[in-house]
Structure 1
Amino acid sequence: MNPRSPADTDEAAFAAAVHAVVLRLRRLGERRLGLDLLPLSELEVLAHVIDHPGATVTAVARELGLQSSNVSTTVQHLVTKGLMERHSDPADGRRTLLQPTAKAQDDRRRIDGAWTAVLGQFLDELPDADRAAALAATSALARLAEIDLG
């Protein structure tokens, strides 16, 4: 068994910190707005469809590295919750295109605003050097979010 290197420890600490911030943002952001927290699977599919309206279940599954049957079930839950709609593809009636509802788009805007407000409060509590370091990590975090490991 290989001993853990300092880099492994740093990466584990970074992962734990990012996870903790996300959980707090969800709890403080969405709940402050009176929104029910969606399961992560639904949140991931919904966010993808908001960013890629008109996607098919197959495309969403491929992009997210999920099984089509699981995405189909998740889409049904989101349709039932009034957050997603299915429409026939006008170019090919056999295909179904996914669209976020106006409610889903409005909720996303409200959540983005709540997360910004909560993060602002978090940042205000940090010493100036830590605040500057956190804000300096913005582009690196954005690049991390775009990396496709699948």
Structure 2
Amino acid sequence: MTLTALAWLGMMAYAFHILEEYMLDWRDWARNELKLPVEWNDFYVTNGIVVALGIAQAMLAAELPLAALGFAGLMLINGILMHIVPFARTGRFSPGVFTAVVMFLPLGTATFWTALSNNLVSPAVAVLGLALGGLTLAFPIVMLNIKTKPFFRQA
């Protein structure tokens, strides 16, 4: 399978992931388990951006493999750190854990494997893809946690 095909499948998996999170009330779970000060509007905007990034990375995958690896890194890190680990730690179901295990882990791994085994990227670029995925996940979490600080309030 090509990197482009895997990138589009990653976007499809993220669409299912967003649906799972929304339908199973990720917001309340994240507030209770992760202590994130998240509202549904935050969820909508963040996931709208993820969809835009997902489409862009799939369209760029053949010419810019790092884009596909950044999105695959996002899937892997999000799946593991935001769903699998909290579920394993608490035993409480995490909305999104099903798609994380069934879709994110296999597709994310396959994306990195394909890029590396076909010499589309160096190991250093693969690590950069993971870092990019981590930064992409961290950015909205940081924004959620600083938006109420006096320096950032616009009232």
- TM-score class, shorter: 0.3 to 0.5
Q: Which has the higher helix share?
A: 2
TM-score (norm 1): 0.36
TM-score (norm 2): 0.35
Structure whose CA Rg is larger? 1
